[in-house]
Structures are given as C-alpha cells and as structure tokens.
Amino acid sequence: MRNGSSSHPSISSFTRRVGYPVAIAACAAACHGGGAGDADPPASDPSSRTSTAHHDDHRRNCDWDQWGGGPVHSGESCATVDHFHRIAARLTFDPFVEQEVADNEVQFGDPGLSVHYQVPLLIDDDVYLELKAGTYTSCAAVPTGPCGINAWDSQIWIERAFHWSHGTLVADWTFASDWKPEPGRLTFDEAAFQPTVVGPFIYVPGASGSLHKLDRRTGRELATIRLPGVAEDPHTFVAGGIAADAHGNLYYNALALAADNPRRDARAGWLVKVRPDDTVQMASFSAIAVGAPAATDLCVGVFTFAQTPWPPSPDAVPPSALCGTQRPAIGVTPAIGPDGTVITISTAHLNPNYTFVVAVDADLAPIWTTSLRDQLHDGCGVLSPSDATPADTDGSFLSTHCRVGAKLGVDPRTNLPPAGMANDGGTASPVILPDGGVLYGALTDYNQFRGHLFKLDRHGRHAGTYDFGWDITPAVARHDGTYSIITKDNFYLDGRFNMTQLDPQLHREWTLEATNTQSCHRDASGQLVCVEDPDHATGFEWCINAPAVDPRGVVYTNSEDGWLYKISPRGRVLDRTFLGEPLSAGYTPISIDRRGRLFSMFAGDLFVIGGDDRD
C-alpha cells in the first residue's frame, strides 16, 4: 500500500470477489498476498530461440492496439526492452487510489485496490491511456448512502492521447466517455474500460452498449455506434474489451442487466460485430451458446453451509435451481483467429458452473460450443484435502475442504466432477494458439481458488488442463517451430507465488518462485530502503493479468511487492526495477511498443520503462 504496509489477504477479501454464491464461493482476484523472486544481477541469457523474423510474420505489425497486443491475445512484442532501470515517464491516471483502498478496507476489511485498468494502447509513437475523473463517492464521506463499489457511476472514464517527442510523453486530446462499469453488487472488482485502435480510429466503450468512434489524431467524435433495437438505458453495458480483426471489424460483448437488481436474471447478452462502415450485427448468447441450458432450465446448485463439511454424504445431491440466461462473462475480450473465427465466453447468469467457450464465424454464425463441465477430476482427495471440521470460523474457505469419506476427485460443493467457472471479477480472456487451439482461464475454488487453465483444440475438443487459471490471459512465446505458454501460478492459501512456463501439452517447462520478502520505499533523499516484511515471509504475489513476452522469449511481469520483473526464457530473473511501495491490488496488464518501451501500472500510476533519450 502507499503507506508502505501490506498484509496477507483477509478471509473476507476472498469471499466477496466471486459473487456466486456470495456466501460460499471465494477467490483471489485482488492480488492479495505475494509473489516475486529476488533478482539475480542483470545478465544476458543466451537462448536457442529462433530469430524475430518468424515472430514478426505472425504479428503483421508491431503496434499494441488491443487487449493482449493483438486479436489472438498472445501478449507478443516485436521489441526487446533495454535500459530496464530507466523510467522514461510516470503519470497518475487514477487519482482515487487512496480512497479506493480505504473503502475496500471499510467495506471488506481488506486494504487493497480492487480495480482493473485498460492496457495502454501503443501505435508507433502514439499512446492511448485511460484516465479517471469525476467524483469518487467515498464511504468515509457518505457512510449511510451508496458509496465505494456501490457508487462507481459517479466517476468518469476518459480516454487520453499522448505522443512521444524527444523522449518526453506529451499530452494531446481527451475524450470523456459516458461508459460505466457493471454494478459492484455483481462484480466486486471495478471492470476494465478497454478501447481499441483500428487504423486512423480509436473506438471507445460508451453507455448502453454503444461505441464512440473517434479520430485518433484529434480525438474528434465521428460517430456514436449504438445497438440496433436496444433502448438507451443505464443497465446495458459494454462487457469487457473491444477486439479488432485484420479487416477492421470490431467484436465485443454487451450485457443487459435487470434494472432493480443485477443479481436477478439478466435480460439479454449479445456478441456484437461492428463493420468498418459502422453497421452493426448482433447475436444473442442464447443462440450462439449451442447446447447450453435455457434460462428456465434447472441447473445443479451447491450445498448449503448448514451441510458442512461438504459433501454432506458420499451420495448427497445438491439442490437445483433456475440456470438463468446465457450471457457474456464480464471482463472478457473476444479473441479472433487468423481465419476470422471469434472466440468468447458464455455463462449462465444464475449459475457459473455452466460456463462455455463459444466459437462463431466472422458473421456470428455458431461453429462450436464447449462446456467446461465434466473435464476435471481433481477435487476431494486430490487437490482438496479431507477435513472433518470447518477450515475457518466464518466459512469463507469451506469449499476447499472435503468431508472425510468423500468420493475421490469431486467438487465438495456439488459432489460432482468439478466445473470451470467464468468469474465476473476478473479479466481472463481467451487466447488463440499458434496451432489453432484455444486457452481460457476459469475459476475453481476447491484448489485454493487457483482456477484451471483449459486448452481446447481448433475444433473445440478438450485438449488438457493446468491447475491454475484465475484472472489470467496467458502470454505465448513462439520458438523453434513450437511455442510455450506463460502464466502466473499463485498458491493463495499456502502463500507460495510462482510464474510458470508450459509446453503446448500444458506440462511445466519451468517455475520461478517468489523469494522477495522485503517491503521497499524511497526515503526523502530518494534512496531505496528495504526491510523484512513479516506479513510476506513467503514472498509477494505476482500481480499480472496479461504478461508480455519479447521475441527472445523474455517475460515481463509485475508484482505486489512494487517491482517490475524481467524473466529469462529459462525461468531466471534477469533484472527488476522498483515502481512503488507494496500494495494489494487488482491485476494489471503490460504492453510494449515497437521501440522497446514497456508500459506498466502500479497503484494508479503509469510507468514507462526503457526507451532512450534519443527517442
């Protein structure tokens, strides 16, 4: 935190972030707790990686114009980052961090920053960044009315343009959007405001599921693109980021919530296509999630607290309830393959145990739909320990423990094979792999809220899982005719925090464990002062939701310890640079421009690392 203190996640912080059911499910979306390895001295790390030519052929251009760097979300950069200790620019884009952290503690007992931010968009020497303005409604100021996460709409989200001139980041124009995040009663973590750049235009999310089309050079609005047949109302949202294909078509998710209570069944959800001529096509998630249960079908729920420890008996059956409407998972940016296939994530509004990966063609016609149910068998007795007594006094972690005698491998909450769940508090988005397969990180809580990474082949068939997937859009490193997958790998309850590289079969190639146990700050003279932090005796958490990787396979990631890390293709820390005092925070992404300038966010500030005075 900004005062230099930090702590392990409170039990309540896990409970509040999933939202289904609020009293049962739990997760670790807020980067609570730890993770980053102490740096070795800066050193070269020769690698057998292939040259950048193959990499550049794939990228087609070196701009970071959308989430994950491009339409497949692989996090691949065309450039390496040199001068890693040079902070070329720093600016505050979220002026409300102090209030947000304070309110998080008031509302949830957790002094953290539960906000997701836009990845900086980088086009040649132009930069596009989110700024927050308006009024933050603090719970300290309004203790009896809507405040904190229940009053996000008092803020204003602004897109700001900059350009580089003689090594200095110079501000150009600003555009205040009417976009608002989905209500805190549904997500708990403030959703990301994520535009995209296409040629001479930047498309900015707006109210009621609309987009604002701007001239990216001047910021002048050229059009407001609205959803046909959808009334303007404050309960319809652009849900997640905007993706763009090579032909200038845009794809994004939109969500219409119930006006009186966002936890009631959703009114509708759509996958939206906007063509370069601004015409709009929409497909209902109920139509494209082929084979998913209908809103009025019954879905299997979860056991109650009164029945703990779970499952109540080896043959117990949980109650069933309405599934709810299939709709987009909040925070998802669709991925687009080279052949025009669009991948998004659908979930039942009233039961996220019914989540699907959905593929459609360029005209939104369904290709395949794959359920994330019935693929996992690693619950009780495998990743979830047996325990005849509750794990804690308030029930937050009960779903990680199983009753003695439970069937091997079942989810203790359901007594069924575990299901991968979409979670509205994260930003996990699908990644399209070089072999045409798809990755998606889903939540599962019985394995310490680590989730699972699911891999599907190009036809939507299950091709494997890895025991971590929470709030991550993994990066992909192409090399030697194959590729590797880079993900964070946090063990939240054990206090062990890793970065891990996987092969195409999701087998570990290396794991880097966090070893830094010191909290650092700069004193009045600017000197770095570090002391052992007893609250982080096992390290700090890797605080990344979309890492970046350069053509050599070098990985860039940030940590809650306030340091930015550079990791070799063999899993060794090459270097690190200090950004700020430790802070428990929502996961943030990294982007890299064509000149090797790296853009990282920490505590509401943007840091630009690298570059050269001659830039």
- Burial of 593-615, coded b for 16+ CB within 10 Å and e otherwise, reads bbbbbbbbbbbbebbbbbbeeeb
Count of the separate structural domains present in the chain? 1
Does any domain span residue 276? Answer: no
Q: Is residue 150 a part of any domain in this protein?
A: no
- Range ranked top by mean pLDDT from 41-50, 137-146, 334-343: 334-343
Which of 27 and 608 is assigned the larger pLDDT?
A: 608
The DSSP symbol for 284 reads E
Residue-level pLDDT at 397: 57
pLDDT surpassing 70 at residue 60: no
Q: Is residue 181 part of a domain?
A: no
| pLDDT of residue 457 exceeding 70 | yes
- In this predicted structure, the answer to whether residue 44 has a pLDDT above a threshold of 80 is no
* 57 domain-assigned: yes
Tokens 């899982």 — which residue?
465
Structure confidence by residue, pLDDT tens digits, 578-608: 999 999 998 999 999 999 999 999 999 999 9
Is residue 198 in a domain? Answer: no
In angstroms, the first-to-last Cα distance of the chain is: 33
pLDDT at 191 over 60: yes
Q: Which helix (H) or strand (E) holds 288?
A: helix 285-288
**Residue 403 maps to a domain:** yes
Residue 273 lies inside a defined structural domain of this protein: no
pLDDT of 364 reads 98
Helix boundaries (H) for 89-207: 97-108, 184-187
Does position 542 have pLDDT exceeding 70, yes or no? yes
Looking at the chain, the number of H-run helices and the number of E-run strands are: 5, 41
The residue with greater pLDDT, 119 or 401, is: 119
pLDDT band at 387 (very low <50, low <70, confident <90, very high): low
- DSSP string covering 19-54: -TTTTT----TT--SB--PPPPPP------PPPHHH
Of 441, 546, 503, the closest CA to residue 76 belongs to 546
At 368, is the secondary structure helix, strand, or coil?
strand
pLDDT tens for 115-157 read 999 999 999 999 999 999 999 999 988 878 899 999 999 999 9
Amino acid symbol at 599: F
User: For residue 511, what are the domain limits?
Assistant: 11-109+292-610
Q: Residue 530: enclosing H or E segment and its boundaries?
A: strand 528-532
**Is 56 a member of any domain?**
yes
3-state secondary structure of 238: strand
Confidence of residue 292 (pLDDT cuts 50, 70, 90): very high
Res 193: pLDDT:
98
Q: How confident is the model at residue 22 (pLDDT cuts 50, 70, 90)?
A: very low
